[in-house]
Structure 1
Amino acid sequence: MTLVLAWIRKVGITEELCIASDSRVTSGKAWDCCPKIKPLDRKDSVLAFAGDTAYAYPMMEQASNAINFHPKLNTRALDITDLNGHISRVISNMREYLHDSIQPHKQFVPELPETQYLFAGYSWKYSKFMMWRLEYKKNKNAFIPMVCPTLMKNQLVVLVDTTQNKEFDGRKLNENLVRRRIFLKMVEKGKSPGDFFDMEPFEILRDIIRNDDDWAIGGTPQLIKVYKHLNHMPYGIFWPNKASHQITIMGRPILNYETFRNPVIDPDTFEKVYMKINNDSEFAITSDDGKFDKYREIKDL
C-alpha cells in the first residue's frame, strides 16, 4: 500500500509545490527504503505512484526516458500541460506489450492495473503549479490525467492504494479519510477556506506511517519540493525523529560517510539544518536566515 500527497505550500510571499510519500513496498515482505517519487530531469516536475510496483516502476522509467529522448520535452520548451497527455499515452501503450510468459503468442488479456500516478510541476505557460492524478479508465483502455478536487480551496492530490486497506484510528484508510484528516488538521490550526496549506498534509502522512496497526504503509517519509524557478529539490528527513540523528533521503537511510547538500528537516518541528561539509571545494550552503547550521561533521571520502 502507498500514500502519496501533493499540495501547494505558502512560504512568505511565494509558494512551493510539495510532494511526499511513504517508502514501504510490500510483496509478502516489507521493504522500507523504496523511492516512490521520481524527480524528472527537466527539473520542473515529478512523477509518483501508488499501487502495483510491477506496473509502476517500469512505466515511470519509460515515461522518464520518453521525456529525456525528446529535446523539446527535456529542455522544457514544451510545458507540463503539453506533457501530461504524452505521459499518459506512453504508460497506456506499454500495456499492449504484456503477454503470457509461457505461451507468448497466446491471446492474453492483461488484468486491470491497480496503479495510479501523480504528475505535478510548475507551468511556465500558465505561471502556476499544476497537478494531475493519472487513473486507468476501463472504458477508454487508457490512463487519463484527472484534476483532483480541492480541499479548503487548495489544490490537493491524494494517491492511496486501497488493495490493502490499512486501518488508521480504527477506520479503513482511503482518500476521503486522508482528506478529512488534513481538513481537521487545518481547522485545528484555525485556518479557513482559502488559507494556504503549510505542512499539514505531511503531518498526516507522518502520523499514518508512525501508526503501526498495519504493515502496509511505512518506512520513512520522502519529500521533494518544486519551485517557481523551475527546479526541484529532494529534502532529507530525520527519522524516526531528530534525536535519532539518522538522515534519510528519498526513503533511504544514508550511510555514515555520505554527505547531503540539501536541507534536512525535523519531521515534528520542520526546522531545517544542513550537514557540515568539510571539503573546502564544496560549494557553500547557507540557511534561509544567512547562517550556516552545522549539524554534524562528515569526513572527506
Structure 2
Amino acid sequence: MTLCISWVRQVGSVTEMIVASDSRLSGGQFWDANPKILMLPRSDAVLTFAGSTNDAYPLMLMADNSIRMHQPAYTRSMDLSDLKGHLVRVFNHSRKFITGLPANQLEPDMPNVEFQLCGYSWKYKNFITWKLHFDKNKGIFTFRRSRAWGGQDPNSFKYVTYAGDEDVVDEAKKRLVEKLRSTGKIRSGSLDMEPFEVLRDLLREEKFSSIGGPIQMVKIYEHANAVPMGVFWPNKEAGVVSILGRPLMDYEKIPWGVIDPDDPSRAYPMEIEPCKTEDDASIE
C-alpha cells in the first residue's frame, strides 16, 4: 500500500506544509515509480491516497476534473475548507453509477482507500489536512480534520498526519516520537524534516514490502502554491533524481529544487546531470 506523511515545517520565520510518500504500487508485482501525490489544478493543495489503486485512481482523476470544470474550485474563490466537501460529494455521486454487480450483491464493494487533502486555507490563514475516508456504517465518503499534537509547551506546535498500512503507520509514529525525544523536542519546538527522515529510513531498510521506491515530496507555501521537489534517490552520490515518484531520464530537467535525502533541510538547483537508469533505445 502506502506510507504518506504530511506535516507543517517551521524553521525560523518560515512555515510550510510538506507532503511526502513512497512510490510503490503492488498487486502480484512491485512497480516503484508511481505518483501518489496529485498536484491539484488550483495550485494551493494536493491530494494523496493510500489503498487500492482500483478505487483511488478513478476518484483522484474525477477530483482533478471536477476542480477544472467548477470555476469557484478552480480559481480558489472556494476555500480549501469548502473544497473538501465538494470532493466528498463528487466521490459519493460517482459511486451511484457502479453497475454490473455480481449475482445477489445489492451494493458495490466498499472502497479500500483513504485520501489526504492537504493545503493552505485562505479562510483560516493556516495549513490544514483533511482525511477523506469511506464510512462503512453510513455507506458514504466523509471527512475529518487532522489536529495538532496536544501536550505541547505554549510556544510549541506540531502538526503531522499519516496515511497507509496500519503496521507501517504505527512504526512511523513510534520512530518519530523516538527521534523527537532523542533531540529534546518531544514537548518543545516544531517539526523540521524529522518525518522525512522517518520515511527515508523505513524505505531504505526494506522492512515492509508494502512500501518502496523513491520518496516523492511536495511543498505547499503560505503564498498558496504547491511545488513538487526532486529527490536524489537512493542518495545524492547515485546522481539519480526522482520527481513525484519517477526517476528522471537522462535528458529531463526540472525547474524546482532537488533534496539530498541525507541532508533534507536544503534543496539543490538542478545542475547535476542525472544518471541514466536504463540503457533504453532513444525515441526521436
If the length of structure 1 is used for normalisation, what is the TM-score? 0.84
**CA displacement at 1:188 relative to structure 2:** 1.7
What SS does structure 1 have at the residue aligned with 2:64?
helix
What is the letter of the counterpart of residue 4 of structure 1?
A: C
What is the letter of the counterpart of residue 230 of structure 2?
A: G
Aligned to 2:278: none
**CA displacement at 1:156 relative to structure 2:** 1.4
What SS does structure 2 have at the residue aligned with 1:256?
coil
Q: Any idea what the Cα deviations from partners look like across 1:154-181, whole Å, max 9, x if unmatched?
A: 221100134xxxxxxxxxx243332221
What is the rounded CA distance, in whole Å, between the counterparts of 1:78 and 1:237 in structure 2?
A: 32
Q: Summarize the Cα distance change of 1:131–1:194 in structure 2 as closer, same or farther, 3 Å threshold.
A: farther
Aligned to 1:213: 207
Contact 2:233 2:240 in 1 (8 A): yes
Aligned to 2:90: 90
What is the rounded CA distance, in whole Å, between the counterparts of 1:101 and 1:107 in structure 2?
A: 6
What SS does structure 2 have at the residue aligned with 1:275?
coil
Q: Any idea what the Cα deviations from partners look like across 1:20-72, whole Å, max 9, x if unmatched?
A: 00000001000000000001111110100000000000001101111111111
Aligned to 1:160: 164
Aligned to 2:22: 22
**CA displacement at 1:101 relative to structure 2:** 6.6
Moved over 4 A (4+): none
Contact 1:117 1:135 in 2 (8 A): yes
Aligned to 1:229: 223
Aligned to 1:287: none
What is the rounded CA distance, in whole Å, between the counterparts of 1:132 and 1:108 in structure 2?
A: 30
Q: Any idea what the Cα deviations from partners look like across 1:116-169, whole Å, max 9, x if unmatched?
A: 00001101111111111111111221111112353355221100134xxxxxxx
What SS does structure 1 have at the residue aligned with 2:263?
coil
Query: 189-198 or 26-35, which moves further after superposition?
Result: 189-198
Aligned to 1:275: 270
What SS does structure 2 have at the residue aligned with 1:110?
coil
Aligned to 1:41: 41
Aligned to 1:176: 170
What is the rounded CA distance, in whole Å, between the counterparts of 2:263 and 2:97 in structure 1?
A: 47
Listed as ranges, the matches of 1:58-137 within 5 Å are: 58-100=58-100, 108-137=106-135
**CA displacement at 1:198 relative to structure 2:** 0.4
Contact 1:99 1:108 in 2 (8 A): no
The number of equivalent residue pairs is 269
Aligned to 1:245: 239
If the length of structure 2 is used for normalisation, what is the TM-score? 0.89
**CA displacement at 1:98 relative to structure 2:** 1.9
Q: Summarize the Cα distance change of 1:94–1:71 in structure 2 as closer, same or farther, 3 Å threshold.
A: same
What is the rounded CA distance, in whole Å, between the counterparts of 2:128 and 2:161 in structure 1?
A: 10
Q: Identity over aligned residues, as a percent?
A: 39
What SS does structure 1 have at the residue aligned with 2:269?
strand
Q: CA RMSD in A?
A: 2.0
